[in-house]
Amino acid sequence: MALKSFVEVEPESHFPLENLPYGVFKPEPGSLPRPGVAIGEYVLDLSEIAFAGLFDGPLLSNSDCFNQPNLNKFVGLGRPAWKEARVTLQKLLSATEPTLRDNTDLRLIALLPMEKVQMLLPVAIGDYTDFFASMHHAKNCGTLFRGPENPINLNWFHLPIAYHGRASSIVVSGTDIIRPRGQGHPTGNSAPYFGPSRKLDFELEMAAIVGPGNELGTTIDVNDAANHIFGLVLMNDWSARDIQAWEYVPLGPFLGKSFGTTISPWIVTLDALEPFACEVPKQNPSPLTYLVEKTSRNYDISLEVLIKPSGQADSCVVTRSNFNHLYWTITQQLAHHTINGCNLRPGDMFGTGTISGPEPESYGCLLELTWNGQNPLSLGGTTRTFLEDGDEVTFFGYCQGNGYKVGFGRCSGKIVPSPQ
């Protein structure tokens, strides 16, 4: 049964009292950024709640973590502080609690219509790593580029593969993506192609936001890793397939990825996702000891991708997948990231890699959906093999509870032409 807030929350809303995801926003264009939580169609300004003295628990009463332009200080405080904040906010926003409900003056300055605020990146992302954790995606990509005989390299089943991405080009949902330029495979004996990418793609991913980090030279135990993950966001790892294919040997992705990565503005905490924890696909062979978890868990998060073709009014669903298809868990990914002594810091982000399921309708990118352009997608009267200028891609993700949803909102971006 859904919890009841004095703020009206529609049954299909992504932001009920069970969720309370964190973000950063500006009430007006010229105002300072500040942290907030989403409740229904409103944003609760946490700086105003803190100023009113309503965070009165032992860990937050004297903290200035909600008077910051990002969430880094708060996420760095760790799980006890996160739980204290969640208990406080669920009580303040509940239908039976008068403290905020009956304080008209505070309500007017602290509860703002979501449609009127400007959402920003929720954290200052110091470092960004992208994993490759879906077996179905790995198999499909390997089949396309190496053939069906041995599509997945042996090492993939022993460790979570990843590369270090570019944090500076991570943008919040709603930001236009400029079509990148770069080199592509030469044709015959000609020089390599140079110009706007001809194979621009989306990748359906999610990303974890790191809480407390670790000191350089130390590691994080896989069974303690969840205490170092604040929550998850939706992530679109935009990919220029032609640039990527020409450059990735021998060092991996570079310009084919670094031109832009979009994330949703709201971080859904692991506490909010806990009721939707589920089993992990069987890992065979069993991983090495440092990756063996006492309790392995994925989350049952339904994921959906829509494309609105340029010049059209309606969007078309092109794929439906689920977070539970990941082979390597986010806690295994974090533990592996630190096993060499690499230090993580609050606000760092790591992506899951493309989340593809076993069926064609659950593939997580156009490379797979069109089988590298061989099978065009039908989109309401037009077709696509890869993205064209003016196309808008939107991700949605949510967990279905009993009478409520815990969702992530939207993660969207529109492709605009490459500058001449």
Q: Which residues are annotated as a binding site?
A: 130, 132, 146, 203, 205, 237, 244, 248, 257, 261, 354
CA torsion through residues 84, 88, 89, 91, sign: positive
* In contact, 100 and 92? CB cutoff 8 Å: yes
Provide the annotated binding site for Ca(2+). Answer: 130, 203, 205, 237
Q: How far, in Å, CA of 7 to CA of 105, rounded? A: 15
137 is catalytic: yes
Residue 388 neighbours by CB under 8 Å, 6+ apart: 309, 310, 415
Provide the annotated binding site for substrate. Answer: 132, 146, 244, 248, 354
Please pick, among 14, 137, 325, 336, the residue that the annotation labels catalytic.
137
Phi, then psi, of 201 in degrees rounded to 5: -135, 160
Closest CA to 395 of 176, 267, 269, 235: 235
Residue 352 in 3-state DSSP?
coil
Beta strands in 225-281 (DSSP E): 229-236, 239-240, 261-263, 268-269, 277-278
| β-strand pairing of 382-384 with 298-299 | unpaired
Q: How far, in Å, CA of 178 to CA of 208, rounded? A: 25
* In contact, 409 and 268? CB cutoff 8 Å: no
Residue 377 in 3-state DSSP?
strand
Catalytically active residues, by annotation? 137
